A = this chain, B = another copy of it.
Amino acid sequence: MMKKKSEKSILPGSPNEVYSRLEDLGIDMVKDIDAGVSPGFETASRGRSNVKFDESVGCLRLGDRKEERTFVNVGQAKKFMQTVAVANKCKKFLKEGSHTSIRGLFYQLKFSLGESVDEELFSDQSESNPLIEDIETAISVKREDLNLYTDRKGVVAGPMTIKDKFGSEETTIDCRKQGRSGYAIPSDVDNGINFVDVEADYVLVVEKDAMWQRLNEDGFWKKENCILVTPKGQASRGTRRLIRKLASKKLPVYVFTDCDAWGWYIYWAIKAGSMNLAYLANDIAIPEARFIGVTMRDIKEYSFLENLTIKAKEVDIKRAQEMLSYPWISKHEAWVEELNQVLKTKRKIEQDALQGPRLSFVSEYLKEKIHAKKFLP
C-alpha cells in the first residue's frame, strides 16, 4: 500500500510531476497485486473530527488521522475501482493536455465502463467529490492539477499583467485594461498562469460584484494603486488561489463584506480556509487577510449608518453565536465585541449602505479605513 508522501507540497510544480505521481499510485497497486495482497492506498481522513485549526499558520487543516482504501473490502470494492478508474482517466487527460469537468469525466467513465459506473455516485459534484478528494490527498495534488475544471467565479482589475499559457499559445492579459468587465478569474491559476509585473500596494477583496463595478467605475484601483478583486459572494477555489499567490508576493490583503452571517463567512473562509477545503490548508487560506468592514463600530465614526442598519435575520444571530464558539475567532477581542454588538442590537449593516450619502462615499470610506489601518484581525 502506497503511503501518503506527506513531505511533498500539495503544489506539484508541473504536469509531469503530477503524471508521475499518478503513475506511482498505479505501480504500487500492481506491486500489491503481484505480492498477492489487496491493492490499496492511504488517504487523509477528511471527517470533521480530523479538521484542526493550526495556530502556527492560522488556518484549518487536516490532522494526522489516515484512512485506507482497499479493493478487498465488500463496502469499498466498487468505490475503490471507480477511484482507480478516475485516476486512470486523469492520467489520460494530463497526457492529452486537455481538461474537462467532473461531469465530462463521468461520461468518459460511463462510455468505457458501461453499466458498471454508478450513476448516482456522479450525479452531482458533492457525490463524486470524495473520490476526487481521495486522489488529491493520496498523491498531494489539487484537482486542478488533474486537469479537472472547478467552478470559476470572480473578477479582478488592477496594476498587474497575467501571462496565460493556454494550449500552444501564450496570451498576455493586462489587468489595467479590462474596462468595465475586469478579468474573469480562471478555474486554475497555477498551471500555465504567471503573474508578472504586479505593481500594486495592496489587494482589496469586495464581496459583491455590483460594489466591485461601482469601485471600478470610480477608478478606485487606479487612485489607490491596488488590485481590486470580487469573489462574487463566496470565493471560488481559483479566486482563493489568486489572492493566496498575491499575498505570497507580500501584498497586504483587505476584505470588505457585509456585516452579516454571509459576509463574515466569506471573510473567514478566505482567511482561515473552510472545513470542506481543510485538505488544501495553507495553499488556499490567507491568514494575512484583514477585515475592513462594514463593522458595527463604524457607526461611531460614520453616524449616518445608524439609520441604515437593517434587522438581523435568524441566520445572522446563529452565525454570530457559532463564530463566538470558535477559539480562533473568539481569541480576538475586537471580533467578540463586534459579534456581541450584533447579538445585542439585533441589527446588521450591508456594504451597500455606504452608498447612502453619495455613490462615491464607499471609496472615501475604504481609503480612510485602509490608510488609518482600522482593521479587524
Contact = CB atoms under 8 A, between A and B. Distances in A.
Interface of A: 93, 96, 98-101, 103-104, 106-108, 110-111, 114-115, 119, 149, 151-152, 155, 164, 166-167, 169, 171-173, 177-187, 192, 208-211, 213-214, 217-219, 304, 307-308, 310-311, 350, 352-357, 359-360
A184 B184 CA distance: 6
A31 to B, nearest CB: 31
Contact of A100 (B111, B172, B359): B359
B186 A166 contact: no
A297 B172 CA distance: 43
B104 A352 contact: yes
A279 to B, nearest CB: 22
B219 A167 contact: yes
A167 B210 contact: no
19 contacts: A99-B359, A100-B210, A100-B359, A101-B214, A103-B210, A107-B356, A108-B355, A108-B359, A110-B307, A111-B307, A114-B307, A119-B311, A164-B179, A166-B217, A167-B219, A173-B178, A181-B183, A181-B184, A181-B185
Copies of this chain held together in the complex: 2
Contacts of A219: 167
A237 to B, nearest CB: 14
B352 A106 contact: yes
Nearest to A177: B171
Contacts of A98: 214, 217-218, 359-360
A170 to B, nearest CB: 8
A217 B181 contact: no
Contacts of A167: 217, 219
B171 A356 contact: no
Nearest to A89: B359
Contacts of A101: 208, 210-211, 214, 352
A359 B171 contact: no
